[in-house]
Structure 1
Amino acid sequence: MSFWEKMRGTTTSPPRVSIPEVIWSWIGSFLGIAAVGLVHFNMLTDSDMVMIIGSFGASAVLIYGAIKSPLAQPRNLIGGHVISAVIGVACFQLLGGQMWLASAVAVATAIAVMHLTKTLHPPGGASALIAVIGSDQIHALGYLYALVPAGSGAVIMLVVALLVNNIPKSRYYPEFWV
């Protein structure tokens, strides 16, 4: 198969999921993001802390909408965010004078380390990037960013995923822990 032929794909699109699956995915993602948002907007408003970051939207897709994916499992969710956040902060601190370089090194290194630690979680790449390109409020957190918001927000979303994804008889979560 040539280089160009590979780009045509090798299979057809998977079938559409059932309406109940769509509804449970909606309920889980609503409750998960709402829980993190409530902490952010009601408990941290008088501090410089943040709780909700953009990468949690992508995590919601995985842990509520693609629950059987290896990338959606608890080890990947927590490890992917925390490891990537630490890497992102380190890259900002070491290379922040060259934001393009810090951004590229942070995401690429986060992917490599997630692979090596079996914690690959695509939103982790976004958590690494946010640590570099985020606001002064994010930068002021330093390595605390790995715990709040990255780690603790992911834990809140995990608790919601464990509760909501196991309500219907047709769904169970997780597939594995470690």
Structure 2
Amino acid sequence: MKKFFKQFKKVNSEPMEKSNIIWSWIGSFLGILAITYFHRDILNDADLTLFVGSFGASAVLVYGAVNSPLSQPRNLIGGHILSAIVGVVSFKCFSGNILFCSAFAVATSILLMQLTLTLHPPGGATALIAVIGSNQIHDLGFMYIIAPVASGAFILLTIALIVNNIPKHRFYPLSLKNNRKEKD
């Protein structure tokens, strides 16, 4: 177990404390639960076919790597929304060539996230899902940007703002940590 903790410290930007791991679990559980509830009960998506898989990766970042620049609110929201726009536009323009369309959507979403300082790795998957997703995703058209993408990202953010600030040693967003240090 000591070897595991030593390795974990090398790859994790968060303090290695049992409570940190527990809060990461609680946050990710509540975040994903809230999105699935929203989809099932409010969007009437009983089989969750509109649930965007990239939210699982976002949960890893916003609950498990709260100190990462890639998990900050600007990146979470901006990365997903920009990537959703790129994905939908790519599909509308290039759906006749799905291979090109897929590559174009992901590469362009990365480019735009970098240019706008909103790089969020799950955003690439959000763009790709708009291209290779089901007919139900394609039928949404530009609504894909609002629901499920923007709504899901805002749900994750709301839960992250609450859960990540309950313990005294966790701060989210990172600017909150910096502000508290300046006051001390």
Q: State TM-score, norm by structure 1.
A: 0.87
Residue 14 and residue 133 in structure 1: after superposition, are their counterparts in 2 closer, same or farther (change >3 A)?
closer
User: What residue identity is the alignment partner of 2:44?
Assistant: T
Q: Is the 8 A contact 2:50 2:136 kept in 1?
A: no
Identity %: 57
In 1: Cα distance, 2:11 partner to 2:37 partner: 35
Note if contact 2:161-2:172 (Cα within 8 Å) is conserved in structure 1.
yes
Which residue of structure 1 aligns with residue 179 of structure 2? none
1:66-77 to structure 2, matched below 5 A, reads 66-77=65-76
Query: What is the CA distance between 1:50 and its match in structure 2?
Result: 6.2
Q: Which residue of 2 aligns with 1:92?
A: 91
Q: Which amino acid aligns with 2:69?
A: P
User: What is the CA RMSD across the aligned residues, in angstroms?
Assistant: 2.0
**Amino acid corresponding to residue 32 of structure 2 in structure 1:** I
Secondary structure of 2:96's aligned partner: coil
Matched residue pairs, number?
Answer: 165
Contact 1:68 1:175 in 2 (8 A): yes
Q: Which one has a larger percent helix, Structure 1 or Structure 2?
A: 2
Aligned to 1:13: 10
- Give the secondary-structure state (helix, strand or coil) at the position aligned to 2:70: helix
Q: What amino acid is aligned across from residue 157 of structure 2 in structure 1?
A: L
Question: Which runs of 5 or more structure 1 residues have no equivalent in the other structure?
Answer: 1-11
Map 1:125-140 to 2 at 5 A: 125-140=124-139
TM-score (norm 2): 0.85
- The DSSP-based 3-state class of the residue aligned with 1:121 is coil
Alignment of 1:4-153 (within 5 A): 13-14=10-11, 17-45=16-44, 52-153=51-152
**Residues 160/46 of structure 1: CA separation in 2 closer, same or farther (3 Å cut):** closer
Distance of 2:146 and 2:159 partners within structure 1: 18
SS at match of 1:59: helix
1:20-71 C-alpha deviation (Å, 9 max, x unpaired): 1110000000000000000111222269x96521000000000000001000
Counterparts of 1:46 and 1:119, CA distance in 2: 29
